[in-house]
Amino acid sequence: MKAINPTSGELIRTYEAHSEKGAEKIINSVDKAWQSWRSVPFRNRSALMLNMASLLRSERDRLALLITLEMGKVLRESKAEIEKCAWVCEYYAENAESFLQNEPISTEFKQSYISFQPLGTILAVMPWNFPFWQVFRFAAPTLMAGNTVVLKHASNVPGCALAIEELFREAGFPDNAFRSLLIDGKKVESLIAHPAIKAVTLTGSTPAGRSVASAAGRWLKKSVLELGGSDPYLILEDANLDEAARICAASRLLNAGQSCIAAKRFIVIESIFDEFSRRFTTRMKEAVYGDPCHEETTLGPMARRELRDELHDQVIASVKQGAVILTGGMIPDQTGAFYPPTILSKVKPGMPAYQEELFGPVAALISARNEKQAVEIANDTSFGLGAAVFTRDVERGRWLAEEKLQAGSCFVNDMVKSDPRLPFGGINESGFGRELSVFGIREFVNIKTVAIR
């Protein structure tokens, strides 16, 4: 299993993949660890999770560099990712016990209540774009709930996968409470089928989600899926255009545009379309792309060349169908998987830029006659992960976010983002189930009724 630097194209390191027997041994070890971990008191679990938060912060620079070298994220963003992992560890260390305390229910019984009990060993199939955060936002609540974890990470970030396993060990968790498997993605179904695996979570593409959901259904195991998105951002006629352009550009370029909740479709009321386009283009052009380890760089390479080439194919296909490039749109003549900030205007239904997820620094500008049509365009997608609306009328924005936009997370006058305190997940082809907050920790527990006459 090879880790390739997307900035230089050079081999970082080759890792030996686990054999089928090796993977079997690890899963059985993790399941055995669960038998004792499930009974560890919350105060003890919390102490270990706080150790983890402290360890992440003390090792931030080393871990951030590993992220940047393996998948190309700008170094300052990698450092912010590690800090966010420490935050989610602290959040569940402080709140897990109250989230999972017994809930009394008034019935005709002498006593009746709901108890939340761990399920066992949970399989996590995780992506490369946020190689630490995606894992920790699942692992922190799952471990605090008394479950154990087997991680199948993306094949291009094996160093991150093994580093996370070692961090849990260094923080004082039992040796087999969290283990990483270096295996090919084609073997995930056999992992799901393993009797010791009680549930599975996946963050990834919609096709990957279908495959995992199918296998989980076949073996009757709980699954949570956080999949792709084509997040619409509505810019209404009364929006603060400078603020909207700044936030929209930041959301589109974060992590080189490789985020499921990045802004992707910008739906602008036609009366302000030209002015917003001008300001948005200026903001996008301000990005400095280059070596992600350099301080002045604001846009690193994409994670792999083939992903960059697939994105460019989507741009070219959209242009052939009538889209117009306002900036970017050309593969730079340099080493690495770089792609420039790109804006496509005159985007219409049927184009890849309208119908598909653009997983890279490419923005689709779409004109709408009025608010009603803007909402119709926003909801004209198979996805449903996030959405945002920009308006000076906060009540108008709140109503649109709550009542009209069809997505799991809807923001007003800000970019869509994840937060340990708020539930996160999508609808439709963006998946099902929720991560984070009280809802996330309750996904992988047995919600048990206890009644006593």
Please indicate, yes or no, whether residues 155 and 58 belong to a single structural domain of this protein: yes
pLDDT tens figures, 154-206: 999 999 999 999 999 999 999 999 999 999 999 999 999 999 999 999 999 99
Q: How far is CA 378 from CA 107, 226, 382, in A?
A: 45, 20, 11
Please indicate, yes or no, whether residues 354 and 435 belong to a single structural domain of this protein: no
Task: Specify the number of domains making up the chain.
Answer: 2
Question: Which is catalytic among the residues 260, 356, 410, 435?
Answer: 260
Give just the sign of the alpha carbon dihedral 422, 261, 181, 76: negative
In contact, 360 and 339? CB cutoff 8 Å: yes
% of the chain at pLDDT higher than 90: 100
- Is 89 designated active site? no
CA 348, CA 283: separation in Å to the nearest integer? 23
Please indicate, yes or no, whether residues 239 and 183 belong to a single structural domain of this protein: no
- What's the whole-number mean pLDDT along residues 256-281? 97
H/E stretch holding 315 reads: helix 305-320
For residue 407, what is the domain's CATH number? 3.40.309.10
Please indicate, yes or no, whether residues 91 and 126 belong to a single structural domain of this protein: yes
Amino acid 290: pLDDT: 94
- Domain with 382 in it: 231-412
Amino acid 428: pLDDT: 97
* Helix/strand/coil percent split, the chain, to 5: 45, 20, 35
Please indicate, yes or no, whether residues 203 and 69 belong to a single structural domain of this protein: yes
**What is the Cα 247 distance to its own chain's centre?**
19
Supply the pTM of this predicted model. Answer: 0.97
Residue 64 belongs to some domain of the structure:
yes
Please indicate, yes or no, whether residues 155 and 208 belong to a single structural domain of this protein: yes
- What's the whole-number mean pLDDT along residues 271-298? 97
Please indicate, yes or no, whether residues 303 and 431 belong to a single structural domain of this protein: no
- Reference 448, options 115, 12, 213, 13; nearest CA is 115
pLDDT tens figures, 292-335: 999 999 999 999 999 999 999 999 999 999 999 999 999 999 99
Amino acid 38: pLDDT: 98
% of the chain at pLDDT higher than 70: 100
pLDDT bracket for residue 442 (50, 70, 90): very high
Please indicate, yes or no, whether residues 115 and 21 belong to a single structural domain of this protein: yes
- Is 226 designated active site? yes
In contact, 445 and 439? CB cutoff 8 Å: no
Residue 422 belongs to some domain of the structure:
no
pLDDT bracket for residue 69 (50, 70, 90): very high
Please indicate, yes or no, whether residues 187 and 318 belong to a single structural domain of this protein: no
Question: Which is catalytic among the residues 70, 90, 226, 356?
Answer: 226
